[in-house]
Amino acid sequence: MLFIAQSESVSTEAYVNPPLGGFGLSTGFTVNYFHYDELAVLSFNQDGSVEWKQILHKKQSTEGDGGFFSSIGLMIAPTQLYFVFNDGINGQTVVTDFSLDATGVQSRKEIFSADRKGVMVVPRQGKQVSANEMVLPSFKKNFLQFVKISF
């Protein structure tokens, strides 16, 4: 059995302006930041003891979108588990995956630069369509399109 957990949190920042005019009305706004960070994966033996455990380190943060572009897409391949996510690397969005094999060995790989392709994928809405393929919805210039990833 596998147990998969993800660190999720929301932080809020309020911006206020001083009162406007003689009526004492103040204007301001609030921004919510959605954080999807490390993944913990634990494998259990039949007797309930832990066989292996891994922490997959990632930092994701989006603002004002309810975490729509954050979190992960999961694909169960014949010999691997793949966790696909948007990763911010040096100010660029890169679609990245973590893979885990049956013994808990992990690897991390950049799949493609979303910024260079001009798309923003939505991994949490991705669907596995075959043993080694996943389809992710994405947005390009506010139009919906789909990205197929083969592993």
Give residue-wise pLDDT tens across range 4-47. 999 989 999 888 776 665 565 667 788 888 888 899 999 999 99
Q: Which residue in 150, 116, 112, 120 sits closest to 133, CA to CA?
A: 150
Torsions phi, psi of 103, nearest 5? -100, 0
Q: CA angle 121-11-9, nearest 5°?
A: 65
Give residue-wise pLDDT tens across range 58-72. 888 888 787 788 889
Six token digits for residue 98: 């973590």
Q: Name the pTM for this structure.
A: 0.82
